[in-house]
Amino acid sequence: MTNPNPELQARNSIRFETRTSIEQVEESQDLAPKFDKDGLIACVTTDAVSGEVLMLGYMNGEALKKTIASGEAHYWSRSRKMLWYKGATSGLVQRVVEMRIDDDQDAVWLRVVLATGPKAAPASCHVGYRSCFYRTVELKTGRIGYAETEKTFDPKLVYGDAPNPTIL
């Protein structure tokens, strides 16, 4: 007897169609995502409750299928060059409430509910803020300010000595 894995079965049944026409891509019900030359599609993730933009990430085909099949956000980590199950280290899993795709199908939008981690309040940013977009850019001057004045968690406590994903 095989032990059926519902998530794997779901993942295997998801089809990405070949892109054949503008009408198909924009107006049909074909899921025909466009991956860039690195094999990635951009993903905006917002908090389903507050509406706040939490992060902008990237997915390869596998991450996109895993996200659809499991209902939890998976990305491609461009700094670590690996599939990234969000929350694997921190516990700050993102449960997807709704997924959307844009007109030319080169971007997806996830509305998520944030989990609480064992050592962190619900948040999304490796620096410790709720949103990765914790800073403002002032119009006219370009001066940086802070939209979030306090960190939500201590990144040292949550990530330990894991390498910082920011690339210069």
Residues that bind its own copies (CB under 8 A): 10, 13-15, 19-22, 25-31, 34, 42, 44, 46, 50-53, 55-56, 65, 68-69, 71, 96, 98-104, 107-109, 125-127, 129, 132-145, 147, 164-168
Run of H or E including 10:
helix 6-13
Q: Which is nearer to its own copies, 83 or 151 (CB)?
A: 151
The amino acid that residue 8 corresponds to is L
Closest approach of Cβ 88 to its own copies, in Å?
Answer: 18
Closest approach of Cβ 100 to its own copies, in Å?
Answer: 4
Q: Under the phi-then-psi rule, with left for phi > 0, alpha for psi from -120 to 50, and beta for the rest, what region is 52?
A: beta
Packed helices 61-70 and 6-13: angle between N→C axes, nearest 10 degrees: 130
Q: Which is nearer to its own copies, 117 or 130 (CB)?
A: 130
Compute how many other C-beta atoms are within 10 angstroms of the C-beta atom of residue 66. 23
Closest approach of Cβ 32 to its own copies, in Å?
Answer: 9
The amino acid that residue 63 corresponds to is A
For residues 154 and 160, is the Cβ–Cβ distance under 8 A?
Answer: no
Closest approach of Cβ 42 to its own copies, in Å?
Answer: 6
